Structure formats: structure tokens, C-alpha cells
């Protein structure tokens, strides 16, 4: 990368212009082979008369790793001297007619494609992944999302090896060719960009079903998997049917083809892909049975299947004009899948889990070198911008519209959006204007959420006037990372609030000049400083701010621990009740960290212990909510509150708090655990899930009890639970405790688990993950050894992530061990993976992104590894972009 000519360059949003040519129809023919695959493409093209009327601009097509066999225009072969190809483009050096047909034939080698981008082989089957720019590895094309065409695909392959041949749309022809091969042809009647193309060929088994749309059409549903996995697809099929029904009821959106297919593959860079009518999924988000999948796995499968199905309208029927608009489809669809999951399960639990991701991963991204708005201004490698900012913060911005407009107003905006833009490639501004126009609102200021990076800091002061019986809130917003945005301007921030009385009751009050008193209000903050007055408040209230986390901001408010404990005990908003407890716990843990640094004696705040006890004994909370409320903030989240991170002190403080709570409530934990032990067969209904989650929480605390007389009650109970478990949720909870305690019980459980599940790849991923995230000093040595295990593979992203990503991103204490071995190990893994699969390598190298926030010694160690990586010859654009930005 030292050679200036080879240094990757940035692409800028401001430079967007429409293509000089359009493609109206695409006819593809694939001859799949073991040594090489031939792809013939027939493209019906025309000049874009708006910017290339004279034809003065050459036709330039995208392509990578293609061996060109022939090129024709209108059935005439192109002479070698009028076209040229390099590593990324094919240029036709002659003026073309206003309308023409371009035909090409290329040879590609899917069996050698370890990047899993384009057409590749997985477990002997052919599969595609074309988002964002993988289609250019299949044939020469205008591989950009604003070029939308109708596709037909003919697939020819060996009938015995590849009996199943799938592509987008509806199957319109299939026949035996008489030479051991067969042919299947597919036609997709809907316009789509190249990133939504899909092809799958292999020896697969199908679980089929159907869905009757609200207009009475019968849609065939097919879930295709490797034959040995066919018994693990029922939940995925039910989730698809639930998604289709929910989208009709909630948004009035009906599926549009005669068939909807899902294919599960074991080698996949992403979670899943929404290709039109043929979704390709990572097996992780399809396969499930009580013995192999946890309750969380079941929820994730339901949510991801919903997400990809919802893309049929928010992403496929209406797509992105360019990749800078990625949040247009992803932020919107994440919001939709969050709503779906909330309706299918617990809205409060779902909201808490979503905000936990936002606060740990996205707020972390906002203060690091990869900080960017939800609509980025530039990129080097587009794959690097499939981020929590684009997805999860993007969903929070969609939630702002929903909060400001209400359910009915949001639905009006969605209806207008589809009415205006169905079949088009559009921008975030088009969505914003549809929302505004449908509701006669001015949403100009909302554009700042798309253009300004960083997390808002919201400061709130409360002033109570006893004589006037009024309460005034003074709000001030600013940028939590002031150097990130030049010429910063205030955002639109909806702040949902409630006021609580001295008994914890919600108070009825009237806001400013509004006529009606309510217990909950949404304040629309649009200025840097703004005040709101509430009337008919008879006594000084306790403020419950940002209910249900109504905006993705950091709250700055002077509240003592008594107030936090009060909200923790009484707030009627489950999210805020959880959040108050987390804020109090965070405050306590950071104080303990400071005590450790100052070598002061440690003690756990009695107010926190008392508030914790009230949650523990609250019989009105369901098990899932209670488990979340009893879980302390993790070390990564705590580290985000420190300018210079002291991971050792943070770890010691959290361990002290957990041990203290375990010992203080020992009998309560034991009683709770035994009361939750099930004597009935496995069930996945809501009550059973809540029971298992609370039981797992109790067992985790019992794991922090000290050894007595060579016995450890937590280990003993975990052993018993592991041996008796009839489901993966209970087995994993027990093994999670055991891996933290080196010794015979741990070794036996890990050995038994491995022997039973070594032939189930997804379950074996859990075996690697649990060891990589273990909480004991020998974990670095164990991770190094696991990287040499016969079942560890660099070529499978799931397996790589289960060890390397979990250790570097989810085990901060031991990844950041003082000797720097974790850093050296990660750098070695990144460089090895980069040669195979740059996307996966780029995602794990991000573990170094916060290196500047650590102490001098750790900074030097991490910087050295970053410099080692960037100096490596042949580094991919993916890794180069992240490492160069990290180094600054």
C-alpha cells in the first residue's frame, strides 16, 4: 500500500451522477462446471439521453476476476482493438447506437472464490452473494443499484450433482438435456438492481408450505437446506408465514410473486440476503431444534426471516439510488423487524435489547475512527459501511418519524412512499419528503440526522414552582464528540417524558398551552436550548425522561442515587425502570473502579443493594424483564464512560460487585433457582422462555460464590443442569458457568458437549464461542490453542467469528491483557483472513478501533499491530480503509 498508485481512493456522495447507459432487460445463461463456469449475458441497453444524448461517453462496465471469451453488439463481434479490460472495468471504445444489445461470454471459477462474494461454492453447492458489488464477479455489468432491469436466468448443470437449480422470480421452464445435464429457466417480472440477483444450485432438500394472501392468492413457500438439516426448518417456515401476515396487517403490503424461497448455506458473510423471491440465508438464521438452538436463537431466526421478507417492499420494490443511501432500506427495514419482533414477543424486552446494542456498539462507533452519519459522505470499500450506524441508528431515525407522527401518521407516510416510488431507486430525502407531504409537516431539520455524525448529548434541568404548581424542564443539546462535526446544527429530538409522584404514580399534568392533561408527553426539541412548562403539578415530581428511549442520545442530567433507586423501583415504563437500574449500577461500578485505582477499600453501595433486592423480590415482573434488570452493565459499556480505559480496574470492580451480590443474596439465589427448575418437558411458550432466562440469571450469580470445603455450589448445580438438560438454552447456561472455572467439571462438560455435537456446525460454533468468552486468566492460551483445533476453519465465517471475533470483541479483559498477546494474535488472524475473505477480516480488525483510549503501554502495543497490518503487501481495500482511519 506504500505505492501511491495502489493506495485505494475514496468515492464521494457529492460526485453522484446517473449512468451514461441504462439496462432494460438481462438474459443470463449459466453453464455450471467443476473446473470453470461459463456465463453468457444478453443485455438490452440504451443511452441515457439526459446526460449522454450524443453518445460521446464510452460504455464502461464493471467486472472483477472475469476471463472474457467474447463480446458482441447487435450480434456483431467486437474487434479486439475497440474494447479494453483491466482489473475492474471493461471499456467499449466506439460510439454505440441509441439502443443496442450487448452480449458477453465470460469464464469464472466459483470453486476458488473464498471471498464468498459473487458466485461461489459452499459445501459443494453453488451460491451467490451480490450485495453490495458482487455481481461484477459474475459478468460484465453496470453493477450499481440505480440500474434496474428485468431478469431472466437459465441454469445448466449436472443433474445428479445439482438436482436443484434456483434463481429469482417464477420458474417457467425445466427440461432434461439428455447428456446428464438439465436446464431450468427463471423469469422475474419485477425491475431490480444487480445486487438482488441470486442463483443457487445443489443437492438440497425442501420443506414446503403456503400462504394465502389477503387478496386470496396462494403463494408457495419453500425452504431449501442440505438434506441432513431438513428436520430443523419448521420454526423458519412458521416465522416466514408470521412475517407475511404481519406485513399485510400492519402496513397493508402483500407479497407479489407466486413463490417465495429461502436457501440456507453454511458459508456466508452476512446473516441473510433479501434477493427478490430467493433469499439466501446463513444457516445460523434458519436451522433450529430445541436440542441445538437456544431461545435467543429462535428469536433471532424469527427476526432475521422477518427482516429479509420485509425487504421485499422496503429495499426491493423501492431500492437505493446509490450505496450512500443504504440506510434508506436497511434502517427502515430494521425498524420494521424490530416492530415485528416486539409484537411477536415482549415489546419491553425487545426495546431494551435493541438499545443495549445501540449504546455498546453504535455509540462506540460514534466516538471512534469509523464514525460516520447514517448517510455517509464517502467510502473506500462499500462493504465497510454495513455498520451499526447505518442499520441500528438508521432504525432509530425511522423511529423518530414514528414517534413524531404516531402510528396513523407513519402509515400514511409509508403508503405515500410506496405510491410515489414503487419500482424506482430513490434517496433518503425522497423518504423524508413522503413522510412530510403525507402529514403536511416540515421535516427539513430531520435531514441533520442523515448528515451529522456523532451521538447527541441532551442536558436536562428541572425547576419546580410550588406556588404556581408548575414544573419547567430546561433542555440543551450539543454534540458529545465536539470535534467530529464542523458547523454543527441542532437536531430534532423527540423526548418522551412522564412525571412521577411521591408514591411512584404517574401524574396527570398539562403541557404549556395544551388543553388536556396527560401522564405522558412527547417534547419536540428543535433548538440548542429550549424550555417546556407543565401545569397542575401539585408537588415536586420525579422526572422519567426519554421513555422507551425516544431518541438515540446520551442523557446528561444531575440525578442522585436516591432518585435512580426510586425510578428503578417505581417507573411504570419498563424500559426506564431498567435504564434507571443500569445508570445506578454504572455509577456504582465506576466509583468502585476509581477506588481500585486509588487503592481504597471496596464496599458496595447500600442503596444500590437495596434497589437490587427490590427487583429480585418483585413478583410482578416477568422472568425475562427481571433477568435484564438484574444483569450488571458489561465491561465494554462501562469502558465507554472512561477517557482512558483501565480494563483491569473495571474488571476487578465488576467482579467485586457480582461476588458481593452473589454472597449477600445467596439463599435468595438458591431459592429462586430451585423454584424455576422445570419438571415438565421442554416448551418454547413465553412463560417457559421467561422461566429459563431468570433461572440462567440465578445460576450465573451462583457461579460467583466462593469455594467452600473443596465444593462450589454453583459448579455443582451447573453440572447437574448440564447433564439433565433437554434443550440448548439450559445446556448453554450451565456450560457458560462451567467454562469460567478451570477444573475437572469444566473439562468433562466441554468434552461431552464436543463429542455429542461435533457433527453439528452451528452447535460446535457455540463450543468455540463459550471458550473464547470465558472469564479466567488462562483464556488467551486456550484461544491460541483453539485456533489450531482441527475443527477451526478460516474459510467458514461463522467458525472464524465464533472464536476470533468473540475473543477480540466480547472478551475485553483478556483480549487487552498487558502482555499484548491478544493484539498480536488478532493481527495474525486478520492478515491470514484478508488473503481469503477481506469482508470478514475487516469486521474483526475493528476491535482495534478504540486503541487511542487505552493507557500508554496498550496504545503502543495496538498501534504496532495496526502498523504491521497496513504495511502488509497486497492488503485489501476493506482492511486498508479501517486500519488507515484508525491510525489517523
Do the beta carbons of residue 65 and residue 86 sit within 8 Å?
no
CA distance 43 to 102: 5
In terms of Cα–Cα distance, which of 794, 808, 816 is closest to 845? 808
Specify if 641 maps to a domain.
yes
CA distance 625 to 489: 37
Choose the final residue of a domain: 203, 221, 243: 203
Contact residues for 80 (Cβ-Cβ < 8 A; gap 6+): none
Q: What count of other Cβ atoms lies within 10 Å of the Cβ of residue 231?
A: 11
Write the CA distances from 611 to 308, 568, 705, integer angstroms: 41, 7, 21
Q: What is the reported pLDDT for 710?
A: 72
CA distance 266 to 625: 33
In terms of Cα–Cα distance, which of 506, 338, 321 is closest to 430? 321
Q: Angle at the Cα of 644 (from 643 to 647), degrees rounded to 5? A: 125
In terms of Cα–Cα distance, which of 552, 393, 548 is closest to 480? 552
In terms of Cα–Cα distance, which of 335, 338, 354, 404 is closest to 549? 354
Specify if 300 maps to a domain.
no
| Cα 333 to the center of its chain, rounded Å | 11
CA distance 402 to 677: 41
Contact residues for 537 (Cβ-Cβ < 8 A; gap 6+): 464, 469, 470, 471, 499, 507, 509
Q: Is the same domain home to 416 and 493? A: no
Q: What is the reported pLDDT for 6?
A: 67
* Helix, strand, coil in percent for the chain, rounding step 5: 45, 20, 35
Q: Is the same domain home to 191 and 52? A: yes
Return the sign of the alpha-carbon dihedral for residues 509, 511, 513, 514: negative
Q: What is the reported pLDDT for 513?
A: 80
Contact residues for 827 (Cβ-Cβ < 8 A; gap 6+): 865, 866, 868, 869
Q: Angle at the Cα of 556 (from 554 to 561), degrees rounded to 5? A: 115
Average pLDDT along the chain, 888 residues, taken 10 residues at a time: 62 98 98 98 98 97 98 97 96 97 98 98 96 98 98 98 98 97 98 98 98 98 98 98 98 98 97 98 98 98 98 98 98 98 97 98 96 97 97 98 98 98 98 98 98 98 97 97 91 98 96 92 98 97 98 96 97 98 98 98 98 96 97 97 96 98 98 94 95 98 89 96 98 98 97 98 98 98 98 97 98 97 98 98 98 97 98 97 97
CA distance 327 to 654: 36
Do the beta carbons of residue 168 and residue 153 sit within 8 Å?
yes
Map 496-511 to HEC letters: EEEEECCCCCECCEEE
Choose the final residue of a domain: 419, 451, 483: 451
Q: What count of other Cβ atoms lies within 10 Å of the Cβ of residue 414?
A: 24
Q: What is the reported pLDDT for 2?
A: 37
Cell of 644: 482512558
Q: What count of other Cβ atoms lies within 10 Å of the Cβ of residue 69?
A: 12
Domain range enclosing 347: 318-451
Q: What is the reported pLDDT for 587?
A: 98
CATH of the domain at 539: 2.60.40.1840
Specify if 240 maps to a domain.
no
Q: Is the same domain home to 768 and 830? A: yes
Query: Per the structure, how many domains does the chain have?
Result: 4
> What is the per-residue DSSP string for 120-146?
EEETTEEEEE-TTTTGGGTSSB--STT
Cell of 687: 412463560
Q: Angle at the Cα of 594 (from 593 to 595), degrees rounded to 5? A: 90
- The secondary structure of residue 16, as a DSSP letter, is -
Q: Is the same domain home to 514 and 618? A: no
Choose the final residue of a domain: 162, 185, 203: 203
Do the beta carbons of residue 487 and residue 452 sit within 8 Å?
no
Q: Is the same domain home to 133 and 7? A: yes
Determine whether 814 is exposed, middle or buried from the number of CB atoms within 10 Å of its CB (0-12, 13-18, 19+).
Answer: buried
Specify if 868 maps to a domain.
yes
Q: Is the same domain home to 102 and 171? A: yes
Question: 518 pairs with which residues across the strands?
Answer: 509
CATH of the domain at 121: 2.60.40.1730
Contact residues for 655 (Cβ-Cβ < 8 A; gap 6+): 704
In terms of Cα–Cα distance, which of 549, 553, 529, 530 is closest to 481? 553
CA distance 8 to 181: 43
Whether residue 132 is preceded by a cis peptide bond, meaning omega within 30 degrees of 0, is: yes
Specify if 464 maps to a domain.
yes
Cell of 842: 475487516
Specify if 567 maps to a domain.
no
Contact residues for 671 (Cβ-Cβ < 8 A; gap 6+): none
Active site residues: 308
CA distance 715 to 693: 18
Specify if 447 maps to a domain.
yes
In terms of Cα–Cα distance, which of 876, 877, 821, 869 is closest to 849? 869
Q: Is the same domain home to 707 and 846? A: yes
CATH of the domain at 442: 1.10.390.10
Question: 173 pairs with which residues across the strands?
Answer: 185
CATH of the domain at 682: 1.25.50.10
Residue whose grid cell is 440525578: 559
Specify if 352 maps to a domain.
yes
Q: Is the same domain home to 483 and 438? A: no
Q: Is the same domain home to 446 and 476? A: no
Write the CA distances from 881 to 487, 596, 854, integer angstroms: 26, 38, 22
Q: What count of other Cβ atoms lies within 10 Å of the Cβ of residue 844?
A: 23
Q: Is the same domain home to 683 and 795? A: yes
Cell of 717: 448445580
Q: Is the same domain home to 21 and 166? A: yes
Question: 823 pairs with which residues across the strands?
Answer: none
Q: Is the same domain home to 64 and 174? A: yes
Amino acid at each position: 500500500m506504500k505505492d501511491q498508485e495502489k493506495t485505494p481512493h475514496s468515492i464521494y456522495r457529492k460526485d453522484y451522477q446517473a449512468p451514461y447507459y441504462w439496462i432494460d432487460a438481462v438474459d443470463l445463461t449459466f453453464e455450471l462446471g467443476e473446473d470453470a463456469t461459463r456465463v453468457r449475458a444478453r443485455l438490452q441497453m440504451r443511452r441515457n439521453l439526459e446526460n449522454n444524448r450524443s453518445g460521446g461517453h464510452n460504455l464502461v462496465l464493471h467486472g472483477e476476476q472475469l476471463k472474457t471469451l467474447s463480446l458482441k453488439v447487435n450480434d456483431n463481434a467486437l474487434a479486439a482493438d475497440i474494447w479494453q479490460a483491466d482489473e475492474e472495468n471493461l471499456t467499449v471504445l466506439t460510439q454505440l447506437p441509441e439502443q443496442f444489445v450487448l452480449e458477453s461470454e465470460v469464464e469464472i471459477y466459483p470453486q476458488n472464490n473464498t471471498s464468498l462474494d459473487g458466485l461461489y461454492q459452499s459445501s459443494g453447492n453453488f451460491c451467490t452473494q451480490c450485495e453490495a458489488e458482487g455481481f461484477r464477479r459474475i459478468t460484465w455489468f453496470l453493477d450499481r443499484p440505480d440500474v434496474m432491469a428485468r431478469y431472466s436466468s437459465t441454469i445448466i448443470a449436472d443433474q445428479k450433482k445439482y438436482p436443484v437449480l434456483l434463481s429469482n422470480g417464477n420458474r417457467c421452464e425445466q427440461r432434461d438435456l439428455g447428456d446428464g445435464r438439465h436446464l431450468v429457466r427463471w423469469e422475474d417480472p419485477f425491475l431490480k438492481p444487480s445486487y438482488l440477483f441470486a442463483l443457487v444450485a445443489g443437492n438440497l432438500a425442501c420443506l414446503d408450505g403456503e400462504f394465502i394472501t389477503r387478496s386470496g392468492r396462494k403463494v408457495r413457500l419453500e425452504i431449501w437446506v442440505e438434506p441432513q438439516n431438513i428436520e430443523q426448518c419448521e420454526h423458519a417456515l412458521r416465522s416466514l408465514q408470521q412475517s407475511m401476515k404481519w406485513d399485510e396487517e400492519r402496513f397493508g403490503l402483500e407479497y407479489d410473486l407466486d413463490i417465495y424461497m429461502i436457501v440456507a448455506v453454511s458459508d456466508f458473510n452476512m446473516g441473510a440476503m433479501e434477493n427478490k423471491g430467493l433469499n439466501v440465508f446463513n444457516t445460523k438464521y434458519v436451522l433450529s431444534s430445541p436440542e441445538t438452538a437456544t431461545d435467543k436463537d429462535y428469536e433471532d431466526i424469527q427476526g432475521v426471516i422477518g427482516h429479509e421478507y420485509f425487504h421485499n417492499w422496503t429495499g426491493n420494490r423501492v431500492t437505493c439510488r446509490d450505496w450512500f443511501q443504504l440506510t434508506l432500506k436497511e434502517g427502515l427495514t430494521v425498524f420494521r423487524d424490530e416492530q415485528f419482533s416486539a409484537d411477536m414477543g415482549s415489546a419491553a424486552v425487545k426495546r431494551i435489547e435493541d438499545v443495549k446494542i445501540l449504546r455498546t456498539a453504535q455509540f462506540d462507533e460514534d466516538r471512534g475512527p469509523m464514525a460516520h452519519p447514517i448517510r455517509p459522505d464517502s467510502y473506500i470499500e462499500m462493504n465497510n459501511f454495513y455498520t451499526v450506524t447505518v442499520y441500528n441508528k438508521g432504525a432509530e431515525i425511522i423511529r423518530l418519524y414514528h414517534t413524531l407522527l404516531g402510528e396513523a401518521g407513519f402509515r400514511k407516510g409509508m403508503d405515500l412512499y410506496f405510491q410515489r416510488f414503487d419500482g424506482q431507486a430513490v434517496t433518503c430525502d425522497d423518504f423524508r419528503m413522503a413522510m412530510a407531504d403525507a402529514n403536511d409537516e416540515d421535516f427539513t431539520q430531520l435531514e441533520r440526522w442523515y448528515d451529522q455524525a456523532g451521538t447527541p448529548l441532551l442536558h436536562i434541568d428541572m425547576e419546580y414552582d410550588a406556588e404556581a404548581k408548575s414544573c419547567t424542564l430546561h433542555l440543551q443539546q450539543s454534540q458529545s464528540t465536539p470535534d467530529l462535526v464542523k458547523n454543527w446544527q441542532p437536531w430534532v429530538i423527540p423526548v418522551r417524558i412522564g412525571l412521577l409522584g411521591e408514591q411512584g404514580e404517574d401524574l396527570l399534568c398539562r403541557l404549556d398551552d395544551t388543553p388536556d392533561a396527560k401522564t405522558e408527553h412527547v417534547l419536540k426539541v428543535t433548538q440548542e436550548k429550549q424550555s417546556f412548562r407543565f401545569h397542575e403539578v401539585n408537588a415536586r415530581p420525579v422526572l422519567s425522561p426519554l421513555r422507551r428511549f425516544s431518541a438515540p442520545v446520551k442523557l446528561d442530567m444531575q440525578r442522585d442515587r436516591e432518585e435512580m433507586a426510586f425510578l428503578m423501583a417505581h417507573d411504570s415504563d419498563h424500559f426506564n425502570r431498567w435504564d434507571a437500574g443500569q445508570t445506578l449500577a454504572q455509577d456504582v461500578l465506576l466509583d468502585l473502579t476509581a477506588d481500585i485505582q486509588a487503592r481504597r477499600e471496596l464496599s458496595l453501595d447500600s442503596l444500590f443493594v437495596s434497589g437490587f433486592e427490590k427487583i429480585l423480590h418483585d413478583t410482578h415482573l416477568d422472568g425475562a424483564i427481571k433477568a435484564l434488570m438484574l444483569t450488571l452493565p458489561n465491561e465494554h459499556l462501562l469502558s465507554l464512560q472512561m477517557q482512558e480505559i483501565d480494563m483491569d480496574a473495571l474488571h476487578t470492580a465488576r467482579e467485586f460487585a457480582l461476588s458481593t451480590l452473589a454472597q449477600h443474596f445467596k439463599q435468595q439465589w438458591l431459592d429462586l433457582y430451585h423454584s424455576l427448575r422445570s419438571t415438565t418437558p421442554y416448551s418454547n411458550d413465553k412463560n417457559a422462555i421467561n422461566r429459563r432466562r431468570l433461572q440462567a440469571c440465578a445460576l450465573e450469580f451462583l457461579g460467583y460464590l466462593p469455594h467452600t470445603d473443596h465444593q462450589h455450589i454453583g459448579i455443582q448445580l451447573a453440572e447437574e443442569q448440564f447433564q439433565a438438560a433437554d434443550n440448548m438454552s439450559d445446556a448453554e447456561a450451565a456450560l457458560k458457568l462451567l467454562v469460567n472455572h478451570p477444573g475437572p467439571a469444566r473439562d468433562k462438560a466441554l468434552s461431552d458437549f464436543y463429542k455429542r455435537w461435533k457433527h453439528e456446525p452451528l452447535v460446535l460454533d457455540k463450543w468455540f464461542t463459550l471458550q473464547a468468552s470465558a472469564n479466567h486468566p488462562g483464556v488467551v492460551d486456550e484461544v491460541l490453542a483453539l485456533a489450531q483445533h482441527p475443527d477451526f476453519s478460516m474459510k467458514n465465517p461463522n467458525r472464524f467469528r465464533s472464536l476470533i471475533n468473540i475473543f477480540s470483541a466480547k472478551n475485553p479483559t483478556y483480549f487487552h491483557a498487558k502482555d499484548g498477546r491478544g493484539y498480536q494474535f488478532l493481527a495474525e488472524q486478520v492478515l491470514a483472513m484478508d488473503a481469503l475473505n477481506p469482508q470478514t477480516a475487516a469486521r474483526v480488525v475493528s476491535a482495534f478501533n478504540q486503541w487511542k483510549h487505552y493507557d500508554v503501554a496498550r496504545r503502543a502495543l495496538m498501534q504496532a499491530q495496526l502498523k504491521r497490518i497496513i504495511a502488509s503487501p497486497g492488503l485489501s481495500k476493506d482492511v486498508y480503509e479501517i486500519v488507515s482511519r484508525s491510525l489517523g
